[in-house]
Amino acid sequence: MREMAYYEAKLAALRELLAEDERVHLIGGSFFSQSPRRALFGEIQKSFRERILPVPISELGYCGLAIGAALAGLRPIVDLSTGSFIYEAWPQVVNEAANVFYMSAGQTRAPVVFHLFHGIRGGGAAQHSASPQAMFWNAPGLEIVLPSSPRDVKGLLKTAVRSENPTIFVDHVGLLESRGMVPDDEAIPFGQADIKRAGSDITVIATSLMVQRSLKVAEDLAREGIGVEVVDPRTLVPLDLATLLASVEKTGRVVIVDECHQSCGVAAELSARIAEEGFDKLKGPIRRVATYDVPVPYSPPLEEFIGPTEARIAAAIRAALG
Amino acid sequence: MLPKLPHNELIELCRKMLVIRHFEEALIDLYEKNEFRGHYHVYIGQEATGVPALACVQDGDYLFSTHRNHGHLLARGADPGRLFAEILGRRDGYNKGKGGTFHSVVPSLGFHHTSAIVAGILPLAAGTAYAAKRLKSGRVTVALFGDGALEEGAAAEAFNLASLNKLPVLFLCENNGGRQRGAAAAPSASMAAFPLTDIPRAYKIAARQVNGADAGAVHAAVAEALAKVRAGEGPQFIEALTVRWPGNEASWPIAPAKTSVALAWNVEPVPEAARGWYRDNDPVLIFVRELVGAKVATREEIAKIEQTVQAAIQEAVRFALASPYPEPETALEDVFA
């Protein structure tokens, strides 16, 4: 276990996965988007040239190629870079990969990982800021992973590549420079939520970058004596509802923070599950802090305004506590 | 012309073409008796493409088909009973009733995934070819799809990826005139490119046309293309042209006549509107006439093969109808491995 940056942990995971299994191939981008850390990918390229496929601007084509390669025994990790680009590959991901195992009644497997950066990254405007994870949640057959810490990105990427199912690995460039302790050799099982901070007054369920933002708010509110418990599901499919409900039982109050658009977003589904399974544990209504239902605008104050800001998270927590 | 194959293999091609024809005609009967529902597509009129083409592949090769897959699976030796059962949504179907007419797969025969999105398999075919190349497995991929697939962007992206990376894949486009409503040799109302081979050629993929009703021409073209693919020369494209079966003119198949090899010499039993197709364009009857003409088999011998096939198809229908429906709760299984 040692302290490292998120980008270092992710790079280590890629390097270790490539070294341990010759079936692992990388298809597409640099896995670090347009961030300054993209140069790090050069080191991987040098060491594993034969197992990296550079691709044309053909999201539909190369996602399909990766699925086909998985059918034939490889373990491809596809990098779509900007999350919005996976809309270009929608037919292959949602209509082929998600259905392969089911339509064949369990005879054919497509163990492919689709890696993308979701969310508002600053100046991305409407076509480079998408958070498509909720749409994938509506397509049975896909596992959905959202890391939020250096430890999680490494441990979850390991499990994603070793999984027998198609997996959407939803990353966020806003996390790349964060730091934390990372065990040397850990694969984090899917379907295990993580309590990122314990507290007894209110449960905040958050995903991806919103975990870090919620932790910041929790720290601020702790100075006022408000105990916020921050719970990170880490994977939406499979979902560890039991851990979420246990926290709700403890606190009785829930705020869900997620960067998807609000309607039918991740927060919407989590709210429904908690309401259905844990209504008797609630002391008040579930509150959502999500991106307003408008396309993502370009100008900084507009972009800032529509997302789940610290101020909105804090306000929701205060409102929930009455 | 007849494929350059030994006697027993020619007879086997004939038997398989008859299996497909009688399977599909029996399927139309089952539909008309409400034994299954929904849209479906039959392979009648394309038997002389799929059967000789798939005689050229080897065990372990990756094969992809579409919504029109019954003939391809049967050409590789799929069990008609289990295929009927799948289409009827029964427990003994190849996919336990989860795939149906659009998605039947038989992994042991090379069909791992069958997509009903017309160009859905083309990028996937590039993918199995990529894996085979990187794993040096020597396996090739054959994607069988219709002319309509070329109208989807996935086809263009797959051609580009396959060509850039010299992937071991044969794109076998079966142009059954579906988008042209008639003469496959004319430009279509939905595709500006003509001939269709211009499209793969733009991506520097070797492409040729072949008469899809000529078993010998198909066999020669596919054997040659696959030899190039296996030799590492990169992707190949073949457009097999057939004349659309008149039963395909409506949205749902309607058989104008029941096939019997006797029609090869007398099409009088066929209603006049469809008679020309059975006389001039039916690939099964053309092949039967060629076999007899070349003295590979007599009319009587072929009639006997057909009787055996028909009996097997009737037995397969009985098997499928006797197979129970799956338990409803099994719908919740097989979502994740």
Distance linking the first and last C-alpha atoms of chain B: 47
pLDDT digits (tens, 9 = 90+) for B200-232: 999 999 999 999 999 999 999 999 999 999 999
Burial of A234 (0-12, 13-18, 19+ CB in 10 A): buried
Q: CB–CB of A143 and B336 under 8 A?
A: yes
pLDDT value at residue B32: 96
Is pLDDT of B73 > 80? yes
pLDDT digits (tens, 9 = 90+) for A227-273: 999 999 999 999 999 999 999 999 999 999 999 999 999 999 999 99
Q: CB–CB of A92 and B123 under 8 A?
A: yes
Give this prediction's pTM.
0.97
pLDDT band at B111 (very low <50, low <70, confident <90, very high): very high
pLDDT value at residue B245: 95
Q: CB–CB of B131 and A51 under 8 A?
A: no
**Which comes out higher in pLDDT, residue A153 or B179?**
A153
CA distances from B222 to A135, B49, B292 (A): 42, 10, 24
pLDDT digits (tens, 9 = 90+) for A34-47: 888 888 889 899 99
3-state DSSP helix/strand/coil percent for chain B, to nearest 5? Answer: 50, 10, 40
pLDDT value at residue A34: 82
Distance linking the first and last C-alpha atoms of chain A: 41
Mutation for testing the B interface, residue in A18, A26, A71, A144 having most B CBs under 10 Å:
A71
**Which comes out higher in pLDDT, residue A29 or A192?**
A192
Tell me what the mean pLDDT of segment A148-173 comes to.
98
pLDDT band at B75 (very low <50, low <70, confident <90, very high): very high
Residues of A in contact with B103 (CB under 8 A): 103-104
pLDDT value at residue A36: 86
* Dihedral-angle region of residue B77 (phi above 0 means left; psi in -120 to 50 means alpha; beta otherwise): left
Run of H or E residues at A76: strand A75-82
pLDDT value at residue B249: 80
Is pLDDT of A185 > 80? yes
Is pLDDT of B187 > 80? no
pLDDT band at B190 (very low <50, low <70, confident <90, very high): confident
Strands B169-175 and A287-291: unpaired
Is pLDDT of A199 > 60? yes
Instruction: Using CB atoms, pick whichever of A25, A71, A105 lies closest to residue B124.
Output: A71
Residues of A in contact with B97 (CB under 8 A): 105
Instruction: Using CB atoms, pick whichever of A73, A102, A143 lies closest to residue B131.
Output: A73
Average pLDDT, chain B: 96
Run of H or E residues at A24: strand A24-28
What residues of A are labeled active site? Answer: 128
pLDDT value at residue B181: 52
pLDDT digits (tens, 9 = 90+) for A47-91: 999 999 999 999 999 999 999 999 999 999 999 999 999 999 999
How close does chain A come to B122, measured CA to CA in Å? 8
How big is chain B by its Cα radius of gyration, in Å?
Answer: 19
pLDDT digits (tens, 9 = 90+) for A91-123: 999 999 999 999 999 999 999 999 999 999 999
pLDDT value at residue A38: 86
pLDDT value at residue B252: 87
Q: How far apart are CA A1 and CA A197, in angstroms?
A: 20
pLDDT band at B305 (very low <50, low <70, confident <90, very high): very high
Is pLDDT of A7 > 80? yes
